[in-house]
Structure 1
């Protein structure tokens, strides 16, 4: 079945109209991990923009992470008490992070900057709450347990493919 020139031109036009816009879209930009919703992309860390400032998972350890730690170290009774202290400190830190969070972002840029500063201060306070409990638990572990906890860190949370652009070899 021979193609008519008019049909061929029409097909080429349709294909061009469908495919061309995809080439016009902005690419991920930069090295791996630098796209929208990524740490250095728009809407840092989750694409929700403002919402990350009041997320209780920004401080302490989320419940899933505490469960991971517990599975990794298999605590004895003394260590379990320290793990419970860490869970309590983490809950207190999460409460501090979510306390006084506005429900909508401020309208003015200066107010948004002040809010970011306030939230960063709250995160720093939250870390100061969690750090002693974490350190007490870590110090109570034997070498094998410490190695298990160290091995269960961010590299095993799915971040093993993360690369900072300035650390990549050329």
Structure 2
């Protein structure tokens, strides 16, 4: 009799475990928050090619410029260089968004050509920003350079973030 009770309790435990939902399963987090949520057509704000026309891909967005300004606390002489960097960044953003298609091309060969075109635009945008950034950086004292260097992605709230291609 005692063996039958144990067997019955074991069977009930197995049935309960199999019938109850697992905590590791995706819940109702909203549309697009299920398996494969980081892939597919919803990626990058609804456009898989959205990052190619994003003005934040080159130069410095306004939020980043304000972060830099707060970190280095520029002198009056450095403020002119900071303004040059802001102007170069705005020009870079314009280069990135110029000639962006509303939707990606249908043909695979055309999509590849678009990627090549957009990467060329990003490279031009970076070449626009780099001299102004270098001029500002060269005008900083050691304390300001340390503050600028410390204000990178690691301090944006991602504690263990690293560049995918780094050896860290």
> TM-score range with shorter-chain normalisation?
0.7 to 0.9
Matched, 1:159 2:158: yes
Partner deviation per Cα, 1:142-170 (whole Å, 9 max, x = no partner): 111111111111211233312549846xx
Q: Tell me the residue number matched to 2:53.
A: 54
Q: Tell me the residue number matched to 1:125.
A: 124
How many residues of Structure 1 are paired with residues of Structure 2 in the alignment? 152
Question: The residue matched to 1:127 in structure 2 has which SS?
Answer: helix
CA change 1:45–1:150 in 2 (3 A) is farther
Q: Tell me the residue number matched to 2:19.
A: 15
Q: Tell me the residue number matched to 1:75.
A: 74
Unpaired segments ≥5 residues, structure 2: 1-11, 27-33
Question: The residue matched to 2:49 in structure 1 has which SS?
Answer: helix
Task: Name the CA distance, whole Å, in 2 between partners of 1:94 and 1:109.
Answer: 27
CA change 1:107–1:118 in 2 (3 A) is same
Q: Is the 8 A contact 2:153 2:161 kept in 1?
A: no
Question: The residue matched to 1:114 in structure 2 has which SS?
Answer: helix
CA change 1:72–1:98 in 2 (3 A) is same
Task: Name the CA distance, whole Å, in 1 between partners of 2:152 and 2:166.
Answer: 22
Task: Name the CA distance, whole Å, in 1 between partners of 2:157 and 2:100.
Answer: 29
Alignment of 1:61-140 (within 5 A): 61-140=60-139
CA change 1:15–1:48 in 2 (3 A) is farther
Q: What is the root-mean-square deviation of aligned Cα atoms in Å?
A: 3.6
Q: Is the 8 A contact 1:36 1:42 kept in 2?
A: no
Who wins on radius of gyration, i.e. which is larger? 2
Partner deviation per Cα, 1:111-170 (whole Å, 9 max, x = no partner): 1111011000000000000000000000111111111111111211233312549846xx
